Structure 1
Amino acid sequence: MRPDPRLLLPRHVEEYRGARWALVVLVVYAVVATGRSLVHVLAPDSGAGSIATLDVDVEGGRNVVALLGQWGGAQLLMALLVWVVLARYRGLIPLMLAGVVGEALLRVLVGQLKPLETTGPPPGGPGTYVALVVCGAALLASLTPRSAGRGSAGRRERR
């Protein structure tokens, strides 16, 4: 079967018709995104120095830490939306995967336009490319309806 772009905005949001493994990819993304965002929000240096290897002991370093912490708040909101979709509105899984892919594409683009200077490779660098490829494949799989003869993950009656 071919991907059906109409599944990005389905009429019935409680029914997910795509590949089961794409749902698993979104769960893994949600776990990673939740953890990453909590580090940015809660770590004293927002993970800037301790994880991303940015030198924050320079003039303006506190601003970098503050901005990364605020970005963590936005990431946490996205992660919470993904959890809501996984828990209640599984028909929107393709839309969430499209959002994840779009965000990764923008990070790659902005990273090319405004590269970071670090003392080591930050995990978000290669991780963004991995997320882009894996979530991109999951997006295509989530837009490809399963055949009628197989069970449907997430197909539950909701009242």
Structure 2
Amino acid sequence: MAELSQQEDQTLAVLPPSTNDRYNGPRAAAWFLTLMSIITIVPGNIHTFLPDGGAGVIAGRDLSVNGDTIIRLFAWAGATQIVWGIMLLLISLRYRSFVPLALGLLVLERCIHTWTMWGPKGQADGYLPPEAYVTVVLVPLLLGFLFLSLRAPRESKAP
């Protein structure tokens, strides 16, 4: 049986070679994306593995009516957060050429979150979960780091 060439072998890899050498933006944007991955993975684990998904003990929701459904919805959202957070972490550490794209998608995600929490589809009872306040702060921060990640690198001045 013929052996795979090195290029074919890399094509079959789950994690292809790093693209960090193709990222020209500042490292601060990539490190901010690392922070965002943690801010995504930790709540994802809470929603997935805490007995009430955080719906009662953190968000203060009444689980006496349809509690099982609410907990399952939190777990579903948590599973999605964990996977999305792992992808953000991989991008921030290994595939930095995707940092601007990931930050742009995070801006879109957080804008949708903001609209659904604060807009016309907001909470019927007027209650806002803790994430609602965090998201309002994150949107401008994400926009700032997105624009930063798109900046051309500065030319270094040789003596």
Q: Who is 1:62 aligned against? A: 68
Could you tell me which of 53, 59, 66 is aligned with 2:60?
Answer: 53
Residues 52 and 120 in structure 1, CA contact (< 8 A), matched pair in contact too:
no
Q: Who is 2:151 aligned against? A: 144
Residues 55 and 70 in structure 2, CA contact (< 8 A), matched pair in contact too:
yes
Q: Who is 1:72 aligned against? A: 78
User: 1:19 Cα shift?
Assistant: 2.4
The amino acid across from 2:51 in the alignment is: P
Larger Rg: 2
Residues 54-133 of structure 1: matches in 2 within 5 Å? 54-58=61-65, 60-111=66-117, 112-116=119-123, 121-133=128-140
Residues 52 and 118 in structure 1, CA contact (< 8 A), matched pair in contact too:
no
User: 1:87 Cα shift?
Assistant: 2.5
Task: String of CA shifts for 1:101-138, please: whole Å, max 9, x gaps.
Answer: 11001111222232225696521011111111111110
SS of equivalent to 1:147: coil
Counterpart Cα distance in 1 of 2:30 and 2:90:
13
Identity of aligned residues (%): 25
Task: String of CA shifts for 1:61-105, please: whole Å, max 9, x gaps.
Answer: 211111111011111111011111122211101111011111001
Counterpart Cα distance in 1 of 2:26 and 2:146:
9
Counterpart Cα distance in 2 of 1:131 and 1:103:
11
Q: Who is 2:3 aligned against? A: none
Counterpart Cα distance in 2 of 1:54 and 1:116:
11
RMSD between aligned residues: 2.0
| Structure 2 gap ranges (5+) | 1-17
State the TM-score, normalizing by the size of structure 1.
0.79
| Alignment: residue pair count | 138
State the TM-score, normalizing by the size of structure 2.
0.79
The amino acid across from 2:31 in the alignment is: V
